[in-house]
Amino acid sequence: MFRIKILDGGHSDMSSAEIEPLDAALRGAIHAPGSAEYETARTLWNGMVDRKPGLVVRAMGASDVQLVVNFARDHNLLLAVRSGGHQIAGHAVADGALLLDLSRMSSVRVAPSERTAVVEPGALLSDVDKETQAHALTVPLGINSTTGIAGLTLGGGFGWTTRKFGMTVDNLRAADVVTADGAIVTCSADDHADLFWAIRGGGGNFGVVTAFEFDLHPLGPQVLSGLIVHPLDQAPDLLAAFAKLTDTAEDDLTVWAVLRKAPPLPFIPEDWHGKEVLIFAACYAGDMAEGERAMAELRSLGDPIADVIGPHPFVGWQAAFDPLLVSGQRNYWKSHDFESLPQAAIRELVAAANNLPDPATEIFIAHVGGAMARVAASDTAYPQRASHFIMNVHTRWAEPEKDATCIGWARDLFDTMAQYSTGGVYVNFMPEDETARLPNAYGGNIDRLARIKAHYDPGNLFRLNHNIQPASVPQAAE
């Protein structure tokens, strides 16, 4: 007997005989609690999330997804959907739910002559980068290669090449989606345009994407990139200079600022390991010689501890931060968007960086804008186009007994920085306890999203996410 939660909060006790028809029809397989496959599927990147679904289905293709969606809907079951398992809130797994695991659907098919790629939802960013860079092509992705493509894309997606090529969603051509009624829908700007609009930032609220088709751009296989490390006591002046130079930076140049304790990296002198530092991480998505010129001002600032800017394989640069972002650590994030970084805001950031609760914790300020900002807020579900900086208070630690201290520190910094923010937020950086911020994430797009949700998922089957409630009266698709 399998006890699985239902949508009204109760449970359904399902016999093996009731499960068997689904199991027989699948290309993939069903896994019960206690099996190794079950444990693998339920384990997420954020070590704070330790949830036990009632049953796991590891899908092998779109037909499996369709079968599971129909089964969950017909039996009124609580359905969780996991792809990369990297999302900070941990919505991909819920206690007692029927868990649909997409991680085995991980193919990446590149059409170099057309400069497109079709990517399955279980692929990681590393999978996409390796296949596209084999042809010196890229799609804008995030900065941690173990992130899943599905969650990144559905939330918006930004990284080192966003200023030049736009966000991940800006490069999405089409997607195959299994909707709540079990239909397999291909959506694009010309077909089911309302659904296509909604999935470009609206998360997993509207169905299960089984394939993404992206536009690709020439880049690589090498880029000018790397880190510049400074003592934190130089940060007030250096961050002011950073804010100024990023205001006029060309789209090819992206510079992020990171405040943290120096990790034991081989290019950082050993006597600086564990001490507070400011790190500039920079990437130039263009000609190497032009990149040297574009980075000259940044590299002339202050008296750095280390400067390792140079040519690097883009695939390697995309994975450069993976060793600092390993799976299993406890994570609690808080985020704000900024149009500028005034001196008062810089003082608060530096003060917080002098009081980090754990050596694994960092504050990063992502430099965005450029091509991302030239898309209207209403053109995609992701509306935060005016942001010039995105802050992630990236709080990480290992010991459960430090939970209160680390979470409290993150919330305090978040509250302090609110006065300088736009009020907007990137939905992929929202922890589970920020349900009240959903209107901040979607701004003027929230009502349209609720109407589209009511059309494609009136019963809110896809609710384990940063949930957009269906509009009270279902309306025709827009």
Per-residue pLDDT of the chain (478 residues; tens, 9 = 90+): 889 999 988 998 999 999 999 999 999 999 999 999 999 999 999 999 999 999 999 999 999 999 999 999 999 999 999 999 998 999 999 999 999 999 999 999 999 999 999 999 999 999 999 999 999 999 999 999 999 999 999 999 999 999 999 999 999 999 999 999 999 999 999 999 999 999 999 999 999 999 999 999 999 999 999 999 999 999 999 999 999 999 999 999 999 999 999 999 999 999 999 999 999 999 999 999 999 999 999 999 999 999 999 999 999 999 999 988 899 999 999 999 999 999 999 999 999 999 999 999 999 999 999 999 999 999 999 999 999 999 999 999 999 999 999 999 999 999 999 999 999 999 999 999 999 999 999 999 999 999 999 999 999 999 999 999 999 855 545 5
Cβ neighbourhood burial of 331 (10 Å; 0-12, 13-18, 19+): buried
Q: Clarify whether residues 236 and 368 are in a common domain.
A: yes
Please state the pTM of the whole predicted model.
0.95
**Residue 440 falls inside a structural domain:** no
Q: Clarify whether residues 15 and 117 are in a common domain.
A: no
Residue where a domain terminates, one of 60, 76, 101: 101
* Total number of domains in the chain: 3
Q: Clarify whether residues 94 and 138 are in a common domain.
A: no
CATH assignment at residue 76: 3.30.43.10
CA distances from 334 to 100, 391, 393 (A): 28, 8, 5
**Residue 402 falls inside a structural domain:** yes
Q: What letter does residue 271 receive in the DSSP assignment? A: G
CB 119 within 8 A of CB 212: yes
CATH assignment at residue 208: 3.30.465.10
**Residue 452 falls inside a structural domain:** no
Q: Which of 176, 177, 178, 192 is nearest to 69 (CA)?
A: 178
| Structural domain that includes position 285 | 222-435
CATH assignment at residue 271: 3.40.462.20
Q: Clarify whether residues 185 and 269 are in a common domain.
A: no
Q: Clarify whether residues 252 and 277 are in a common domain.
A: yes
Residue where a domain terminates, one of 63, 79, 101: 101
Can you name the residues that pair with 230 across neighbouring β-strands?
278
**Residue 471 falls inside a structural domain:** no
**Residue 450 falls inside a structural domain:** no
pLDDT at res. 97: 98
Beta strands in 123-239, from DSSP E residues, in sequence order = 137-138, 172-178, 184-188, 208-215, 217-218, 222-231
**Residue 80 falls inside a structural domain:** yes
Q: Clarify whether residues 257 and 312 are in a common domain.
A: yes
For residue 426, the SS3 value is coil
**Residue 236 falls inside a structural domain:** yes
pLDDT at res. 473: 54
For residue 30, the SS3 value is strand
Report the distance separating Cα 247 and Cα 260, nearest Å. 24
Q: Clarify whether residues 429 and 287 are in a common domain.
A: yes
Q: How far apart are the first and last CA of the chain?
A: 43
**Residue 334 falls inside a structural domain:** yes
In this structure, the strands spanning 276-284 and 137-138 are unpaired
Q: Is the Cα dihedral 19, 20, 26, 27 positive or negative?
A: positive
pLDDT at res. 1: 82
205: CB partners within 8 A, 6+ apart: 198, 449, 453, 457, 462, 465, 467, 468
Report the distance separating Cα 179 and Cα 460, nearest Å. 11
CB 285 within 8 A of CB 193: no
Q: Clarify whether residues 285 and 411 are in a common domain.
A: yes
Q: Clarify whether residues 277 and 174 are in a common domain.
A: no
Residue where a domain terminates, one of 101, 128, 144: 101
* Lookup: tokens for 315: 């695939």
CB 381 within 8 A of CB 449: yes
Q: What letter does residue 200 receive in the DSSP assignment? A: T
Q: Clarify whether residues 188 and 332 are in a common domain.
A: no
Q: Clarify whether residues 63 and 22 are in a common domain.
A: yes
Q: Clarify whether residues 416 and 289 are in a common domain.
A: yes
